[in-house]
Each structure stands twice: as C-alpha cells, then as structure tokens.
Amino acid sequence: MPEDAAAISELEILCFSSPWSKEAFTKELAENPAAWYLVGEIEGRIVASAGLWLIVDQGHIINVAVHPDFRRQGIGKALIAEMLRRTEPEGVVSYTLEVRTSNRAAIALYLEFGFCPAGIRKNYYENPAEDALLLWRNLPSDEATS
Ligand SMILES: CC(C)(COP(=O)(O)OP(=O)(O)OC[C@H]1O[C@@H](n2cnc3c(N)ncnc32)[C@H](O)[C@@H]1OP(=O)(O)O)[C@@H](O)C(=O)NCCC(=O)NCCS
C-alpha cells in the first residue's frame, strides 16, 4: 500500500547500505503494476518487508528486510514462504534474485527455499563494491503446469 512507503523506506535504511528512498517506494507501490509487496507487522508496527516484481511467469525478488531488533525469529522465513505461497498461483514458475556474496544470512535463508546458485554478477553492488550471487528457484515442471 502506498501509505506503507515511509515505514518500508525507514526499514531499508536500517537494512541496506544503498536504500531506496521513500519517494521511490511511494512510486513503486502506487504506479508499478509489476510490483508485489508484503509487510510483517508486530503490534501495528512494520518490522519487515519483502518485494517482488512479477514479470510474466517470473518473480524477481527485489528486497527482503527484517528490522535488526527482530532478526533470527523466523520472520524472514515466514515472509518468503508467504510470498511464494501467494505468488505461485499467479502463474510464477521461477524466482530469481541477486544477493551480496558476503551475505551469508540471506544466502542461507534462500537456500532453505530451494534457491540454487546460478552465477556471479561482477561488481554488481556499490557502497561497498561487491559481486552479486545470482540465485534461481524453479518449480518442478509438473507443478508449474498443473
Ligand atoms: C536476511 C534476513 C532477511 C533474514 O531475516 P530473519 O528474520 O533474521 O531470518 P529468519 O530468522 O527467518 O531465519 C531464516 C534462516 O535464514 C538463515 N539465517 C538468518 N540469519 C542468519 C545469520 N545471521 N547467519 C546465518 N544464517 C542466518 C538461517 O538459515 C535461518 O534458518 P534457521 O533459523 O533455521 O537457522 C535479515 O538478516 C535481513 O533483513 N538482513 C538485511 C537485509 C538483507 O540482507 N536482505 C536480503 C537481501 S537479498
């Protein structure tokens, strides 16, 4: 929802070295028909968010963020599970994302969901400069067509 843009951007500042601005999220949530977002709330406060672009039959995961005070409590896992559960029926047959090669927490999380390493994008990130690990998760073909 566009009104969640401020809370999501505050979360981004805590979680990423090059966060998207509030304006970018407002535009994304209001105007990007491919954007699909989920937030996690505790007592009415947004403490986690996950975003994905639905492009034909692919889901490109854009950002998954859990407030530092609420990590290691299963929130990230719950967000990804819910995102997959809700978007697979939209016809998504594969998911992809990039992640910093040093981001062991996120890589471990995605591997738990069957994402597989598919390559390296050299110098993909800035601030600091770092390669990205490209991950893909494909549904079994019988599941994708049933
Ligand atoms: C990555 C992130 C979303 C994980 O969120 P979280 O709520 O702490 O994750 P969960 O508690 O659901 O953990 C799920 C799994 O992720 C892995 N994991 C999470 N944190 C980890 C850590 N610090 N070290 C190693 N593995 C970790 C584990 O496999 C864990 O499963 P387990 O608890 O059974 O061992 C969170 O650390 C975060 O917001 N990081 C900053 C932003 C970011 O890097 N986003 C991803 C960019 S693609």
Distance 129 CA to ligand 1 centre (A): 22
For residue 39, give the amino acid letter: V
Strand order across the beta sheet in which 58-66 lies = 35-42, 45-55, 58-66, 94-100, 130-138, 116-125
Q: Rounded to whole angstroms, how far apart are CA atoms 103 and 47?
A: 20
Q: Rounded to whole angstroms, how far apart are CA atoms 114 and 83?
A: 14
Q: Where are the domains of the chain?
A: 2-145
- The answer to whether 67 and 12 are in contact (CB under 8 A) is no
Taking 50 as the pLDDT cut, the residues of the chain under it are: 145-146
Q: Is 37 a catalytic residue?
A: no
Which residue has a Cα nearest atom 20 of ligand 1?
A: 105
pLDDT over 70 percentage in the chain: 96
- The answer to whether 53 and 60 are in contact (CB under 8 A) is yes
Which residue has a Cα nearest atom 36 of ligand 1?
A: 66
pLDDT at 145: 47
| CATH match of 2-145 with 3.30.70.980 | no
pLDDT at 69: 97
- The answer to whether 49 and 83 are in contact (CB under 8 A) is no
Q: Rounded to whole angstroms, how far apart are CA atoms 17 and 125?
A: 10
57: tokens are 């039959």
pLDDT at 92: 95
pLDDT at 2: 74
**Model confidence over 116-146: pLDDT tens digits?**
999 999 999 999 999 999 999 997 765 554 4
